[in-house]
């Protein structure tokens, strides 16, 4: 309902909102059962997923336990195989030299062995061979003295009558690094007599690398640890997941015990780890979906009615609150919809407009054919559909008013165009404001011209005194000649002729000054014409010279040869030049400026991108320049630095130049002062 419509009017259409009915006990019970069912299904689904996650974690842990047991067997078999190879070095009673050759070949084949030594029964070194793949492991701390680990390993080997291992220990290297080493001792028997020992130094990390298969080291991180969990050597893949699965297995070796640990970094178990879980989850989701669809189908009609009522009420309220007129027409041009704002705009009721074709009731009779042709052109798609255009409509009382129309295609739900939707704005008030603004600008311009002439009144009175005084003097002299004795009539006549000529010249001079001011102040319509630049300067120079003589300013004009006429409003451009010249002369009114010169230049500019020629005017003075704080407000209306100024001169000048398609600019003049510049379009020469 519009605000101006009476509240008790029978014709007013008030949207009726549909309010939901109170909930019955059956509705509450049904919703409760639905809620319980949804909770049960959701709980079942969550439990299935949780149990599946636990199951997958157990499977991963069991697989890891199997792999670590297999790895322990591989490492034990690896040590036994190396022990057999070391025992083979002593066949056929080798000499130390031949033993060194065989031992060197052996360590080259086994990267995990750092050093092999042959010692006698008293553990004195007979021969040794170091691995060629790295610097000697014991070069930094020496092996001439028997390490305690070797003594322990060999004592256990003598007691076991077989190979024995010592506890691992850390060996520092010459480069500041180090590694964990485990000693292996194999007793050598000569019959029943102990003949010596074979001692091998294992690098535990290299044992892991050599003894285990590549897939195992790629999928796990494997390490030897002590009983308390301290890692002695680590090899394998690094962390790649957020969850760690760990398995440990004790590995008994003759003389020592190691713990083999495997770590598997895995992401959290998948949401659907196996086909059964995925199937149960899919069935649960399908059940919930079917139940939801059934419930949605039961509530669809009720919800659709409420939504439709809300949409209609919202659209009705929105349409009634709009000040923009809306109109819909089908492809044949018949009106199918109008909103209250459009009806109020044209003065017709909706019943009078709906179904109306062409010509429409709001078309002016004299423009009906023109509007019909324009409508045909737009509806055939030859014009941009959303481009606004102006037109004139007629109210029911016959009055005309301007409107702005914006049209767009009306597309239905199937994507087919069924007509056109138009938005219309009454721009009568906008036109009225524009006219008031234009009239105000003209009055402001006239006021500015009168203010300028008022400031010049004192100068004009002083300048007019000179020709008037001369006229008075010549007239007095002529009267004196006429009253004297006529001794020589010819001489008196000649002198009277000269006096009268001077009186005429001074009278013409005073008349030109007054006429120039009269032509400048007189308000005229803005008519643009082709005017020669020199004619513009000649019109303002009498007034410029008046003030120039008072301020002792030398005025120079330079018009470039061949400069074309300009297309302008002569009076307004003369005002711009006069204001700029007066400002320049006043800027030089200072005792610190002995040389005062004002230069007005006119020159033709090269054609711009559009191919149009322009003529540039510049007014340069030799004043003190414009301070930076004044430059920012120089063109602001009513801003002035003169005690008697009004602050409208430069603002009016910029407005006039912009109306002619130019821009008023200023810059520093060399060596001092300021130069104002603007350009006007050149007149086209026929």
Instruction: Give the pLDDT of residue 533.
Output: 92
Query: Does the pLDDT of residue 16 top 80, yes or no?
Result: no
What mean pLDDT comes out for the span 315-338?
A: 80
Q: Looking at the domain assignment, is residue 88 inside a domain?
A: no
In this structure, the answer to whether residues 358 and 480 fall within a common structural domain is no
Give DSSP secondary structure letters for 563-597.
PPPEEEEHHHHHHHHHHHHHHHHHHT-STT----E
Contact of 320 with 1, CB cutoff 8 Å: yes
Residue appearing with tokens 């402001």: 444
Q: Taking CA 586 as the corner, what is the angle to CA 585 and CA 590, rounded to the nearest 5 degrees?
A: 105
What mean pLDDT comes out for the span 608-627?
A: 84
Question: Of 216, 246, 265, which residue sits at a domain end?
Answer: 265
How many folded domains does the chain comprise? 4
Q: Looking at the domain assignment, is residue 590 inside a domain?
A: yes
Instruction: Give the pLDDT of residue 509.
Output: 65
Across 25-29, 461-465, 551-555, least confident range: 461-465
Return the exposure string of 453-463: e unless at least 16 CB atoms fall within 10 Å of the residue's CB, then b: bebbeebbeeb
In this structure, the answer to whether residues 242 and 112 fall within a common structural domain is yes
Q: pLDDT for 123-181, tens place per residue?
A: 888 888 888 888 777 766 667 677 888 888 898 888 888 899 988 888 877 666 788 88
Q: Looking at the domain assignment, is residue 225 inside a domain?
A: yes
Instruction: Give the pLDDT of residue 587.
Output: 85
Task: Give the pLDDT band of residue 4 (cuts 50, 70, 90).
Answer: very low
Q: Looking at the domain assignment, is residue 276 inside a domain?
A: no
In this structure, the answer to whether residues 410 and 445 fall within a common structural domain is no
Query: Does the pLDDT of residue 638 top 80, yes or no?
Result: no
CB within 8 A of 100, min separation 6: which ones?
127, 128, 129
CATH number of the CATH domain containing 388: 3.30.450.20
| d(C-alpha 652, C-alpha 444), whole Å | 8
Highest mean pLDDT among 538-547, 577-586, 649-658: 577-586
Query: Does the pLDDT of residue 499 top 80, yes or no?
Result: no
DSSP state of 682: B
In this structure, the answer to whether residues 466 and 392 fall within a common structural domain is no
In this structure, the answer to whether residues 534 and 679 fall within a common structural domain is yes
Instruction: Give the pLDDT of residue 600.
Output: 93
Q: Looking at the domain assignment, is residue 63 inside a domain?
A: no
In this structure, the answer to whether residues 447 and 412 fall within a common structural domain is no
Across 139-148, 211-220, 344-353, 627-636, least confident range: 139-148
> Measured over all CA atoms, what is the biggest interatomic distance in the chain, rounded to whole angstroms?
184
Query: Does the pLDDT of residue 6 top 50, yes or no?
Result: no
In this structure, the answer to whether residues 485 and 419 fall within a common structural domain is no
In this structure, the answer to whether residues 110 and 253 fall within a common structural domain is yes
Instruction: Give the pLDDT of residue 654.
Output: 85
Residue-number span of the structural domain to which 669 is assigned: 527-686
Q: What is the mean pLDDT of the chain?
A: 78
What mean pLDDT comes out for the span 24-36?
A: 70
Pairing outcome for strands 597-605 and 554-559:
parallel
Highest mean pLDDT among 474-478, 563-567, 587-591, 659-663: 563-567
Task: Give the pLDDT band of residue 3 (cuts 50, 70, 90).
Answer: very low
CATH number of the CATH domain containing 230: 3.30.450
In this structure, the answer to whether residues 537 and 500 fall within a common structural domain is no
Q: Taking CA 684 as the corner, what is the angle to CA 680 and CA 686, rounded to the nearest 5 degrees?
A: 160
| d(C-alpha 316, C-alpha 341), whole Å | 12
**Judging by beta carbons within 10 Å of its beta carbon (0-12, 13-18, 19+), is residue 489 exposed, middle or buried?**
exposed
Q: Looking at the domain assignment, is residue 292 inside a domain?
A: no
In this structure, the answer to whether residues 116 and 195 fall within a common structural domain is yes
Query: Does the pLDDT of residue 618 top 90, yes or no?
Result: yes
Query: Does the pLDDT of residue 41 top 60, yes or no?
Result: yes
CATH number of the CATH domain containing 551: 3.30.565.10
Q: Among candidates 678, 667, 479, which has minimal Cα distance to 572?
A: 678
In this structure, the answer to whether residues 352 and 406 fall within a common structural domain is yes
Which H or E run includes 665?
strand 665-668
Q: Looking at the domain assignment, is residue 630 inside a domain?
A: yes
Sheet strands (E) in 273-338: 325-330, 335-338
Contact of 465 with 673, CB cutoff 8 Å: no
Query: Does the pLDDT of residue 573 top 70, yes or no?
Result: yes
Which H or E run includes 392?
strand 389-394
Global pTM reads 0.39
Query: Does the pLDDT of residue 327 top 90, yes or no?
Result: no
Question: Of 426, 452, 470, which residue sits at a domain end?
Answer: 426
What mean pLDDT comes out for the span 642-652?
A: 68
Question: Of 397, 426, 455, which residue sits at a domain end?
Answer: 426
Q: Looking at the domain assignment, is residue 588 inside a domain?
A: yes
In this structure, the answer to whether residues 541 and 588 fall within a common structural domain is yes
Q: pLDDT for 455-472, tens place per residue?
A: 556 555 655 665 676 677
Contact of 647 with 638, CB cutoff 8 Å: yes
């Amino acid at each position: 309902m519009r605000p101006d419509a009476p509240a008790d009017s029978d014709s007013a259409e008030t949207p009726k909102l549909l309010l939901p009915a109170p909930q019955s006990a059956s509705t509450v019970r049904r919703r409760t059962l639905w809620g319980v069912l949804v909770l049960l299904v959701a709980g079942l689904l969550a439990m299935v997923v949780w149990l599946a996650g636990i199951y997958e974690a157990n499977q991963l842990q069991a697989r890891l336990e199997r792999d670590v047991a297999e790895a322990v067997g591989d490492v034990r078999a690896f040590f036994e195989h190396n022990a057999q190879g070391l025992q083979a070095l002593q066949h056929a009673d080798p000499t130390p030299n031949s033993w060194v050759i065989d031992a060197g070949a052996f360590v080259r084949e086994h990267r995990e062995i750092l050093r092999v030594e042959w010692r006698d029964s008293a553990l004195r070194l007979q021969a040794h061979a170091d691995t060629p793949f790295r610097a000697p492991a014991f070069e930094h701390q020496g092996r001439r003295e028997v390490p305690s680990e070797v003594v322990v390993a060999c004592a256990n080997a003598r007691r076991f009558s077989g190979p024995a291992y010592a506890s691992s220990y850390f060996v520092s290297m010459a480069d500041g690094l180090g590694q964990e080493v485990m000693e292996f001792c194999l007793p050598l028997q000569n019959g029943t007599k102990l003949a010596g020992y074979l001692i091998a130094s294992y690098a535990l990390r290299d044992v892991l690398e050599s003894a285990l298969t590549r897939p195992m080291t790629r999928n796990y991180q494997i390490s030897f640890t002590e009983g308390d969990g301290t890692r002695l050597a680590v090899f394998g893949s690094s962390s790649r997941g957020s969850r760690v699965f760990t398995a440990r297995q004790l590995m008994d070796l003759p003389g020592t015990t190691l713990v083999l640990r495997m770590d598997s970094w895995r992401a959290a178990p998948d949401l659907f780890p196996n086909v059964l879980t995925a199937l149960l989850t899919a069935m649960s989701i399908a059940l919930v979906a079917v139940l939801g669809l059934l419930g949605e189908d039961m509530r669809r009609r009720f919800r659709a009615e409420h939504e439709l009522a809300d949409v209609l009420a919202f659209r009705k309220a929105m349409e009634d609150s709009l000040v923009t007129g809306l109109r819909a027409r089908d492809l044949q041009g018949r009106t199918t919809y109008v909103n209250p704002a459009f009806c109020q705009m044209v003065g017709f009721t909706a019943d009078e407009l709906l179904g109306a074709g062409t010509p429409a009731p709001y078309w002016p009779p004299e423009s009906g054919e023109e509007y019909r042709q324009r409508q045909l052109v737009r509806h055939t798609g030859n014009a941009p559909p959303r481009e606004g255009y102006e037109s004139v409509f007629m109210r029911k009382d016959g009055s005309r008013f301007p409107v702005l129309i914006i049209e767009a295609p009306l597309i239905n739900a199937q994507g087919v165009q069924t007509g056109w939707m138009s938005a219309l704005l009454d721009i009568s008030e906008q036109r009225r404001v524009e006219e008031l603004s234009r009239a105000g600008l003209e009055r402001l311009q006239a006021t500015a011209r009168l203010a300028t002439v008022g400031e010049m009144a004192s100068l004009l009175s002083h300048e007019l005194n000179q020709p008037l005084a001369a006229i008075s003097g010549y007239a007095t002299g002529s009267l004196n000649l006429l009253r004297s004795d006529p001794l020589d009539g010819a001489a008196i006549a000649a002198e009277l002729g000269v006096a009268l000529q001077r009186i005429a010249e001074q009278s013409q001079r005073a008349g030109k000054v007054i006429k120039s001011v009269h032509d400048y102040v007189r308000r005229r319509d803005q008519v643009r014409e082709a005017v020669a630049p020199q004619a513009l300067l000649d019109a303002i120079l009498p007034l410029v010279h008046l003030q120039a003589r008072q301020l002792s300013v030398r005025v120079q004009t330079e018009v470039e040869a061949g400069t074309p006429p300009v297309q302008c409003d002569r009076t307004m451009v003369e005002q711009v030049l006069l204001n700029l010249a007066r400002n320049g002369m006043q800027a030089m009114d200072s005792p610190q400026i002995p040389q005062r010169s004002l230069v007005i230049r006119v020159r033709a500019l090269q054609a711009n991108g559009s191919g149009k020629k322009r003529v540039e005017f510049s007014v340069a003075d030799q004043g003190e320049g414009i301070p930076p704080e004044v430059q920012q407000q120089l063109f602001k209306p009513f801003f002035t630095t003169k005690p008697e100024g009004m602050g409208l001169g430069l603002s009016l000048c910029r407005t006039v130049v912009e109306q002619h398609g130019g821009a008023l600019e200023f810059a520093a003049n060399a060596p001092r002062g300021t130069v104002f510049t603007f350009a006007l379009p050149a007149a086209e020469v026929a």
